[in-house]
Structures are given as structure tokens and as C-alpha cells.
């Protein structure tokens, strides 16, 4: 049974960021905007954003060097509550940047209207109160964070990477402007685009597949393959296609689950602090030949075609202690693993076999 929630509204067009002011809904007593902006834009903030920032607004430039953590989200939420005594004076929270920034924005919006730590809401449908109205502006395409109902955070204390999966995490308004992805480095463009691809091949080959998830997945896979079969994967046309594919992959994820690639990737992020999208690609090199062979062959073909290097050797010499941490961080993701292999997934994913998966990475 599917009872899914989607983004409230989206505006898709080149230079659509110029329309941001029409979505802020500032009023006399409800006029503060909180901005979370990718640190990349600290020295080259788009004019459209610069022009709408007012003196009482709060602006935070978010580092994307590391994956987002519950500690970071808690710190932002605490600071905002100290600076703004009445949160009803906030009219919007704007997140502009990569998936890290978009997830941080969603998580902070949840915490402003809910007490406690972000760690208390890691899981499914734990957020009690509706979040602050939020606007998402992705500047790189692939994670689907702009469309999904989750904001993925690493908990350093527990060693778990898990999302706030909640209807309240969904953006109310998106501004999808392909021009904002022009400055993305080539390797990162590929890694992040592959996140969309992996979401959908995992959904489409899983136990929880359904007509809605299949439709979103098939369109995403088709768009990604068009992009990577072309000579210039970063052309204006392909960047527009990828922005659409990223959005659709987020919808696919919201209607189903991922599979084995993402739990393996999450473990690499927790234990080695590897960024999500590149860790996905590293994971595919290991698990792809057994679980996703046809798509694995295409993935390898596209990486070779576009001269993309996928890092290897990270875990070749991992100790048993490290392998045990990787195992624990992977196996906590029960729903994706059930989606991939069924309720008896532990019969396939024995500790010894999981250790072998990681030793190949």
C-alpha cells in the first residue's frame, strides 16, 4: 500500500532562481528568512539571493567537506532558537547547495518546531510537529534530496548513518535551475549523477517495487543512460536532464527503498568518512557483479567513456576491528537489505561474506 507525499510545488527553468522573492511570503510580523548556503557560494553568491537577504535574516554557509551529522544539526537549531525568540517570526528556511545542504536544511526545519536532538528523530515517522516552511534550491543533481522525505545524518556516538524519514521533511517549494550546476567538478558530477541511477536500479530490482516506483525509476534510468551515452555528459541539455532525473529518483526513493549499494556506502561514510556519492560508486564496484550485473557493466562502461576514476584500495588491508564496525554500520539498514534480498537477507549477508564485500573496496 502506497501513501506517499510529494514536494508542494517546483519551478523548473534556466535562471529560475531569479524568482525566489515571490516564494518568501514575508509579512510584517512573520518576515525572517534563514538561509543555509553551500560554502562554495560564500565568495560568489548569486545576485538573486544576495538581493533578498535582509538585515534580520540569518545566513549560514554550510561546509560540505564532511557528511552532515546530528551534532551539526543540533548546533544550528540551538543557535537559531537563541537568536530568534519567537520562531513564529520565521517565514521560511532556504537551502541552496548540494545534498548535504539540502538535508541539513530539512533537518533543522524539523528541529525548530520539535524539541530535543536530531538523533531522536532518526528513523521512520518520528517527527511529531510540522516543520517550518522551506524552499530547496539544488546546485548539483543526483542525490534526490530535493524530492525525498528523508534527511540523512550520521550519528557519531552510535556510528549509525540514518535519515529523518518523515512527511514533514519534504520541501514545500523547489527552485530547479540547471544553470546553478555549471560549476560542478567533472568527477563529482558523475558520482552524484550515479546516486540517481543507483537509487532506481535498487528500487526496480527490489522486493518492494510497485507501479509508481517503477515508473519513476524507469524514467530516471532512461535519462541517466541518455546522459552518459552522449559525448558531453555536462552539456546544458544533459544538466537539465540530470536535474529532472534527480528529482524523479527522489520520488522513486519515496515510493520504495534502495538495496545493497546504499547500506555498504553508508558504512564507508560512517567508518571512513567517505562522501556519499563516491562511496556509492566504490560500493558498486564490489557488490555490482553479483547483485546488479547488467547495470554494473553499464556503470563501468560510462566511467571509462568519460574518464572517471573510481577510488579503490580503501579497505584492502582493513583489520577485523574495522571490518566489524563496517559490518555493524551496514547491517543496521534492515529495510533496504530486506528490499534487496528478502527477509532472510542475513543468510546471504553472513559476517564473512560482508567482510569480503568490504575487502574488495
How far apart CA 312 and CA 310 sit, in angstroms, is 7
Question: How many residues are there in the chain?
Answer: 361
Exposed/middle/buried for residue 157 (C-beta within 10 Å: 0-12, 13-18, 19+): exposed
Helix (H) or strand (E) holding 193: helix 186-204
Across 1-97, the runs of DSSP E, i.e. the strands, are: 9-12, 32-38, 58-62, 90-97
- Assign a CATH topology to domain 187-359: Dehydroquinate synthase-like, alpha domain (1.20.1090)
Class of domain 9-181: alpha beta
How far apart CA 191 and CA 176 sit, in angstroms, is 20
Helix (H) or strand (E) holding 74: helix 70-83
pLDDT tens, residue by residue, 125-140: 999 999 999 999 999 9
Confidence band, pLDDT 50/70/90 cuts, at residue 159: confident
Confidence band, pLDDT 50/70/90 cuts, at residue 345: very high
How far apart CA 113 and CA 296 sit, in angstroms, is 43
For residue 326, CA distances in Å to 322, 329, 331 come to: 6, 5, 9
Question: CA Rg, the chain, in Å?
Answer: 20
Residues of the chain with CATH 3.40.50.1970: 9-181
Ranges 142-156, 184-198, 297-311: which has the least confidence: 142-156
Residues of the chain with CATH 1.20.1090.10: 187-359
For residue 155, CA distances in Å to 195, 227, 269, 336 come to: 22, 35, 11, 19
pLDDT score at 1: 62
pLDDT tens, residue by residue, 324-339: 999 999 999 999 999 9
pLDDT score at 229: 98
Amino acid at each position: 500500500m502506497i501513501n506517499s507525499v510529494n514536494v508542494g510545488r517546483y519551478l523548473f527553468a534556466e535562471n529560475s532562481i531569479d524568482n525566489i522573492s515571490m516564494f518568501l511570503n514575508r509579512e510584517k510580523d512573520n518576515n525572517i528568512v534563514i538561509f543555509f548556503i553551500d560554502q562554495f557560494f560564500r565568495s560568489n553568491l548569486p545576485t538573486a539571493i544576495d538581493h533578498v537577504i535582509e538585515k534580520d535574516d540569518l545566513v549560514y554557509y554550510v561546509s560540505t567537506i564532511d557528511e552532515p551529522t546530528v551534532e551539526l544539526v543540533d548546533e544550528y537549531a540551538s543557535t537559531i532558537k537563541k537568536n530568534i525568540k519567537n520562531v513564529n517570526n520565521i517565514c521560511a528556511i532556504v537551502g541552496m547547495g548540494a545534498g548535504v545542504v539540502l538535508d541539513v536544511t530539512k533537518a533543522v526545519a524539523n528541529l525548530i518546531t520539535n524539541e530535543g536532538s536530531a538523533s531522536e528523530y532518526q528513523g521512520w515517522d518520528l517527527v511529531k510537529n510540522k516543520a517550518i516552511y522551506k524552499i530547496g534550491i539544488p546546485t548539483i543533481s543526483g542525490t534526490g534530496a530535493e524530492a525525498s522525505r528523508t534527511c540523512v545524518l550520521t550519528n557519531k556516538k552510535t556510528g549509525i548513518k540514518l535519515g529523518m524519514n518523515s512527511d514533514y521533511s519534504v520541501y514545500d517549494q523547489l527552485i530547479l535551475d540547471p544553470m546553478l550546476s555549471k560549476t560542478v567538478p567533472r568527477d563529482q558530477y558523475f558520482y552524484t549523477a550515479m546516486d540517481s541511477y543507483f537509487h532506481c536500479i535498487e528500487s526496480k530490482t527490489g522486493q518492494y517495487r510497485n507501479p509508481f516506483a517503477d515508473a519513476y525509476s524507469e524514467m530516471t534510468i532512461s535519462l541517466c543512460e541518455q546522459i552518459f551515452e552522449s559525448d558531453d555528459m555536462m552539456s546544458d541539455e544533459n544538466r537539465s536532464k540530470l536535474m529532472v532525473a534527480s528529482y524523479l529518483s527522489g520520488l522513486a526513493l519515496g515510493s520504495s527503498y534502495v538495496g545493497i549499494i546504499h547500506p555498504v556506502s553508508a558504512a564507508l561514510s560512517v567508518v571512513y568518512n567517505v562522501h556519499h556519492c563516491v562511496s556509492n560508486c566504490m560500493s558498486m564496484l564490489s557488490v555490482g557483479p553479483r547483485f546488479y550485473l547488467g547495470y554494473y557493466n553499464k556503470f563501468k562502461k560510462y566511467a571509462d567513456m568519460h574518464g572517471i576514476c573510481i577510488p579503490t584500495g580503501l579497505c584492502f588491508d582493513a583489520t577485523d576491528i574495522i571490518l566489524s564496525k563496517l559490518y555493524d554500520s551496514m547491517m543496521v539498514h534492515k529495510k533496504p537489505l530486506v528490499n534487496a534480498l528478502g527477509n532472510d537477507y542475513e543468510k546471504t549477508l553472513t559476517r564473512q561474506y560482508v567482510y569480503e564485500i568490504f575487502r574488495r573496496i
